[in-house]
A = this chain, B = another copy of it.
Amino acid sequence: MLVSLDNKRKRLSFVGLRKYMNPTIYDVARLTGLSIATVSRAFSNPELVREKTRQRVFEAAGVLHYSPNAIAQAMALQRTNKIAFLICKEGATILDEFYAGICNGIMRATNRLDYELVISTAADWKSAAGTSKNKQVEGVILGGNARPDMISEFQSRKVSVVLVNNLIPGLGVPCVVSDEYGGVRQALEYLINQGHRNIAMLAGRFSPYILNERYRAFSEIVQAHGLPVDTCYIKLCDPTVEGAAEACRELLSREDRPTAIFSTNDVVAVGAMKAARRLGLRIPEDLAVTGLDDSSVCRMLEPELTSVHIDCCEMGELSVRIMKELLSGEKGVPQVTVVPTELQIRGSA
């Protein structure tokens, strides 16, 4: 307290004068009679300063409403603590419930781990990258079908990347995915246990990775249960209600009509239900339908949609946790993380 105050200060700022500015470390230093170095340490390396001194600092900070300026920290440390989440699905935005769910998990985790988050679509990011100030991002989480050139561009700029809802082996990029295979199995085995033998797959055209995993799972599992794998029973469609409805109509017009439709997502399932109804088929009596994603619409339909729940939030949280490991330079970051799914049984199957 009795420290000399007469040393020449090049800094003359008084918080009283700069009335609209936040207090700085200098203000705290002056109030406590300590040096700015000590104040700095008290905040970022508390163990380096004596208990009592630390107390003094925090007390002064309290009355001044001081808290470290993140910008200045970033400048000094050459670190921004900022990561980005880019939605790479063509045409999708934060309005896509699936990616919104992942985003929600990411927000939770970044909040907890004290990262800053910027959210964008891959397209917007690209268009902004050139013109606008660059985003000083240390890592990016790429959701969905990220293009390889985008990935390698980030890598070349030493920006860490992790993929979510996508899996590309051999690139050294950690991936977080849901258990696609297991999810398909849960739905199929449920249908089979219900006695279904003619199960068709209505597959929305999603990213290659997703489509491929679900297709492979479907064929293998159906086969494993001794059921015929008739490729006519596997139908691709646009992942829209009407696209699915049209494809399903064709499926249901066959002489040996399937008794169950395994849809690769909920929107597609909605289309299937519409098609069935238009043909006068009752659900689930004449046709069982399952969805995948367990989105909010499931409980709004009539009958409610049986669907495979994907834990988007967990996927988001995990990708941040993995990003953190990457950024801290840890060794042995898991290359593939898979989060389990769970079948939600409702009225449609």
Tell me the A residues contacting B by CB distance below 8 Å: 20-21, 67-75, 78, 80, 93-95, 97, 100-101, 103-104, 107-108, 111, 114, 116-120, 124, 128, 131-136, 158, 241, 267, 270, 273-274, 277, 296-297, 299-302
Shortest C-beta distance, A348 to chain B (Å), equals 13
Inter-chain CA distance A267–B120, complex, in Å, is: 28
Inter-chain CA distance A253–B97, complex, in Å, is: 36
The 8 lowest CB-CB distance pairs between A and B, nearest first, are: A70-B133, A114-B132, A270-B300, A71-B74, A67-B134, A75-B75, A95-B100, A93-B104
Residues of B within 8 A of A118 (CB): 116-118
Residues of B within 8 A of A270 (CB): 300
Residue pairs across A and B with Cβ atoms less than 8 A apart, 29 shown, are A21-B78, A67-B133, A67-B134, A68-B133, A68-B134, A70-B135, A70-B136, A71-B71, A71-B80, A72-B75, A75-B75, A94-B104, A94-B107, A95-B97, A95-B101, A95-B296, A107-B120, A107-B124, A111-B120, A111-B128, A114-B131, A117-B118, A118-B118, A241-B300, A267-B300, A273-B302, A296-B297, A297-B300, A302-B302
Residues of B within 8 A of A101 (CB): 95
Inter-chain CA distance A344–B302, complex, in Å, is: 22
Q: With contacts A100-B100, A101-B95, A114-B133 known, is A107 near B80, CB below 8 A?
A: no
Most chain B beta-carbon contacts within 10 A, residue among A75, A95, A273: A95
In the complex, which residue of chain B has the Cβ closest to the Cβ of A18? B78
Given A70-B134, A241-B299, 13 new contacts (CB under 8 A): A67-B134, A70-B136, A71-B71, A75-B75, A93-B104, A94-B107, A114-B132, A270-B300, A273-B302, A274-B302, A296-B297, A297-B300, A300-B300
Shortest C-beta distance, A24 to chain B (Å), equals 11
Q: With contacts A75-B75, A277-B302, A301-B301 known, is A136 near B69, CB below 8 A?
A: yes
Q: With contacts A114-B132, A134-B67, A135-B70 known, is A20 near B300, CB below 8 A?
A: no
Residues of B within 8 A of A100 (CB): 94-95, 100
Decide if B20 touches A158 in the complex (CB within 8 Å): yes
In the complex, which residue of chain B has the Cβ closest to the Cβ of A134? B67
Residues of B within 8 A of A135 (CB): 70, 116
Residues of B within 8 A of A117 (CB): 118-119
Residues of B within 8 A of A296 (CB): 95, 297
Inter-chain CA distance A299–B267, complex, in Å, is: 11
Shortest C-beta distance, A138 to chain B (Å), equals 12
Residues of B within 8 A of A70 (CB): 133-136
Residues of B within 8 A of A299 (CB): 241
Inter-chain CA distance A126–B72, complex, in Å, is: 22
